Amino acid sequence: MPTRPAAVLFDLLTALLDSWSLWNAVAGSAADGARWRGAYLRRTYATGAYRPYETLVAESAVAVGLQVTHADALAARWGELAPWPDAPGVLVTLHDAGVPLAVVTNCSEALGHAAAARLGVPFDVVVTAERAGWYKPDPRPYALALRELGVAAGDALFVAGSPFDLFGTARAGLPAWWHDRIGMTPPPDAPAPRARHATLAPLLGDVLGPASR
């Protein structure tokens, strides 16, 4: 990064947490979990104004041939969400260096805060789709987090978990760093991130400088 960001914002359920494994476990297989989560992501990113997160999860389950009760099972097992192995250490290092940290997540208030707590690091701001009133990639959730941090969009950095965040951050004027853990294929019209890595480790050097590597 050309200068140290004034704050770092994160996608939660893909950039920091391995939510994929939980969806797969609840669905009963990796294939069913991928179809269910894919349907949920398509539905969510097309929704715009907030509708209950749990409703979208249930509708997506039915759409791919699963039971509506899978949504309740996912919520019941939410406490099993696990951070990616390098996520806690990266967050602790940034926090200890005095970098304000925030989460912007497509989730309900209850599940969003429960998921953020799985990281074990205090966030200065947690913005859920429910609180913002809109789902990403609408720019309003990102803008709300920036207002509460007191940081201009161009002075911050957003760590995306999927290519869809690249559309929202571009509209918000927020530079993006893509943690592409599983090797996704972005849409051909997706804005380019400042960086794209399969782990979070390089983020420390990009935010704090080479000495932190």
The domain boundary, picked from 31, 63, 80, lies at: 80
Residues 45 and 121 reside in one and the same domain? no
Give 39: exposed, middle or buried? Use CB within 10 Å, 0-12, 13-18, 19+: buried
For the chain, helix, strand, coil in percent to 5 are 50, 15, 40
Give the separation between CA 167 and CA 30, rounded to whole angstroms. Answer: 27
The pLDDT of residue 199 is: 97
Contact (Cβ atoms closer than 8 angstroms) between residue 175 and residue 157: yes
What range does the domain containing 106 cover?
8-17+81-212
- Residue 1 within a domain: no
* Residue ranges in 50-103 assigned as alpha helix (H): 53-63, 69-76, 87-96
List the beta strands (DSSP E) in 16-153: 101-105, 125-128
**Side-chain-facing half-sphere of 194: CA atoms under 13 Å:** 21
How many other CB atoms sit within 10 Å of the CB of residue 97? Answer: 13
In order along its 213 residues, the chain shows pLDDT tens digits of: 558 999 999 999 999 999 999 999 999 999 999 999 999 988 988 899 999 999 999 999 999 999 999 999 999 999 999 999 999 999 999 999 999 999 999 999 999 999 999 999 999 999 999 999 999 999 999 999 999 999 999 999 999 998 989 999 999 999 999 999 988 888 899 999 999 999 999 999 999 987 555
**Model pLDDT, residue 209:** 86
Measured on CA atoms in the order 117, 119, 120, 122, is the torsion positive or negative? negative
- The answer on 175 and 73 residing in a single domain is no
- For residues 103 and 162, membership in a common domain is answered with yes
If one counts the domains in the chain, the total is 2
